[in-house]
Structure 1
Amino acid sequence: MTSTPAAASREYALIANGTAIAMTEFPAPGKPPLVLLHGIGSRGSSWWPVVDALAGDFHLYQLDLRGHGASGKPEHGYAVEVFADDLQSVLEALELEQPAIMGHSLGGLVTLYWASQHPAAASALVLEDPPLHTLPEILPAFDGWIQLASLTPEQAAAWYHQEYPHWTLDDCQRRAEAITGTALGVFADLRAASAQALELGDTDRTPILAGVQSPALLLRGNPEFGGMATLDDAARFQEFLPHGEVVEITKAGHGLHRDATERFLEIVVPFLQRHTV
């Protein structure tokens, strides 16, 4: 069960590109800043499994991406580049210098796009199973997410409980509230972008790595359990970033910080401690 973090926090909103971005801050004066970006159809609280373990060493900023959670939900405008612009606006508003950025899935892509436009602006980057290539199977995945997001929270929770019987009822409810609370435009816009990339054969996102100068860690999940970052992604990552680190967590799929929390922290915390001040 994912419980509410014990660490003290405060909630507020910032305006980024005309859209309210909801923020939960876990203050730790004197500790290095760490910004947490969640995946598609999720929200900032998806990081709760690791918040208390991180809050002692880092000043955490857990935000809801536009279209998600308590953030603003414009009808459209959900390109990865827009999310990255939002991140820059948030960092400027918070006056954060050399923060570490940790992104899961879509949040990892946003982190990379931002880092490619702001070389060396981050002390460290942690990329949790981001899809660095657009694969054909992503289109039916988007269709499934749209169907889920169109349900009531109760209907979605029942679906999660049926599909993932090892999840607690509370976790099913939290996941259902997150996806049904996501603007449908998020899925529609990103699906359209993926369909266009597939049609044009422009499916390789790894060239954005060429602009990244910050120390970076790529975490891969096991594809047999739903991991999305491929072996080719890892190879291209190290081709562009020879000093980047790649670790595969074999006992979990896409949600590494949730499904393999202890192993995730064993890898991530030392990496961040080496590169943050």
Structure 2
Amino acid sequence: MTVISLKTARLREGPTLPYAEAGYPGGTPVVFVHGLADSWWSFEPLLRRLPPSLHGYAPTQRGHGDAERPPDGYAPEDFAADLVAFLDAAEIPRAVLVGASSGGIAARIVAGSHPDRIAGLALLGVPATLAGNAAADAWAERLDGLADPVPRAFAEEFVAAMSAGPLARGFAETMVEEAVKVPVRVWRETAHALRDTDLRATLGGILVPTLVVWGEQDPFLTRDDQQTILDAVHGAAFLSYEGTGHAVHWERPERVLADLTAFATRVAPAGPA
């Protein structure tokens, strides 16, 4: 297992973000981007298993975990701007981006707008669009009735919905604790911005090699939704995980890491970017 180091990045004209770093200096830089109500801990099962060929970074996004909580700036384009600023702050010239769930929206915006900085893009359970998505709408509507602090029962239900089967108890507890840290306004503003944004438009202009991974028991995303991504991104590869829910990297960390390692090795040679 690799050692995980916890560091801090002060973004230019932006918030301070904690991030986890793991792996080997000569490995291909891989930046992991978490989704709503998560933190860098979302990728702990991957970071501690990184092979020598990869050098991983996992920032916690604004408003989440122990990151700073600006009064605004929770739309996909805001998270994307932070991601570019993080690459600068961490001195990562070029990386493979791995976006999970809503974190993949920011990741693909950056891949489309800064192709010189992105060697490849991997999307783990990322929606093509949330228009007409009844499950996502139901969660967003429930947020409207919440007040701080986020009820633990709500966070537990949210985390449980991410997987088709049971998670390791300690990991599930950690993710619940991270979700409870997020202020209701951040949950609400992030969720509503995702619903109000034309997410299909964020698929335009992606020319970097792309890998799409989807769990066949995802309660939020259908196979047709994922096909929309494949149709929009020329040459994108697709992997379907049987018996797996929304957070494929939580349920199948070994398989996800093996697939990501193969992808990163193909699109970016090992060594400093």
Q: Shorter-normalised TM-score: what interval?
A: 0.7 to 0.9
* Matching of residue 109 in structure 1 with residue 105 in structure 2: yes
Q: Deviations over 1:111-163 (max 9, x none)?
A: 0111121124211111101111112331221244674973465x567767998
Q: Secondary structure at the match of 1:13?
A: strand
Q: Secondary structure at the match of 1:142?
A: helix
Over 3 Å counting, the alpha-carbon distance change for 1:130 and 1:148 in structure 2 is farther
- Look up the equivalent residue of 2:110 and give its one-letter code: W
Pick one of 241, 250, 254 that aligns with 2:246: 254
Q: Deviations over 1:162-204 (max 9, x none)?
A: 988934442332122111111322222133335546xxxx5xx
Deviation at 1:18, TM superposition (A): 2.6
Q: 1:85-96, aligned counterparts within 5 Å?
A: 85-96=81-92
- 1:29 alignment partner in structure 2: 25
Distance 2:25 2:180 in 1: 35
The question of whether the paired residues in 2 share the 8 Å contact of 1:116 and 1:212 is answered with yes
- 2:260 alignment partner in structure 1: 268
Distance 2:123 2:224 in 1: 15
Distance 1:132 1:161 in 2: 21
Deviation at 1:11, TM superposition (A): 1.8
| Structure 1 unpaired stretches of 5+ | none
Over 3 Å counting, the alpha-carbon distance change for 1:236 and 1:177 in structure 2 is same
Deviation at 1:273, TM superposition (A): 1.0
Q: 1:189-268, aligned counterparts within 5 Å?
A: 189-194=189-194, 196=196, 205-222=199-216, 224-228=217-221, 230-268=222-260
The question of whether the paired residues in 1 share the 8 Å contact of 2:127 and 2:226 is answered with no
The question of whether the paired residues in 2 share the 8 Å contact of 1:34 and 1:59 is answered with yes
Aligned-CA RMSD value: 2.7
Distance 1:182 1:114 in 2: 24
The question of whether the paired residues in 1 share the 8 Å contact of 2:74 and 2:193 is answered with no
Over 3 Å counting, the alpha-carbon distance change for 1:104 and 1:145 in structure 2 is farther
| Structure 2 unpaired stretches of 5+ | none
Q: Secondary structure at the match of 1:138?
A: helix
The structure carrying a bigger helix percent of its residues is: 1
The question of whether the paired residues in 2 share the 8 Å contact of 1:9 and 1:25 is answered with yes
* Matching of residue 70 in structure 1 with residue 69 in structure 2: no
- Look up the equivalent residue of 1:247 and give its one-letter code: L
Count of matched residue positions in the alignment of Structure 1 and Structure 2: 264
Q: Secondary structure at the match of 2:128?
A: coil
Q: Secondary structure at the match of 2:103?
A: helix
TM-score normalised by the chain length of structure 1: 0.84
The question of whether the paired residues in 1 share the 8 Å contact of 2:136 and 2:220 is answered with no
The question of whether the paired residues in 2 share the 8 Å contact of 1:149 and 1:181 is answered with no
- 1:46 alignment partner in structure 2: 42
The question of whether the paired residues in 2 share the 8 Å contact of 1:157 and 1:173 is answered with no
Q: Secondary structure at the match of 1:262?
A: helix
Pick one of 81, 87, 96 that aligns with 2:77: 81
- Look up the equivalent residue of 1:226 and give its one-letter code: P
* Matching of residue 141 in structure 1 with residue 142 in structure 2: no
Question: Highest relative contact order (Cα 8 Å, sep 6+), 1 or 2?
Answer: 2
- Look up the equivalent residue of 2:205 and give its one-letter code: G
The question of whether the paired residues in 2 share the 8 Å contact of 1:142 and 1:191 is answered with yes
- Aligned sequence identity (%): 23
Runs of 4+ deviating beyond 3 Å = 143-153, 155-169, 194-197
The question of whether the paired residues in 2 share the 8 Å contact of 1:120 and 1:213 is answered with no
Q: Secondary structure at the match of 1:206?
A: helix
Q: Secondary structure at the match of 1:243?
A: coil
Distance 1:189 1:14 in 2: 23
Q: Secondary structure at the match of 1:139?
A: helix
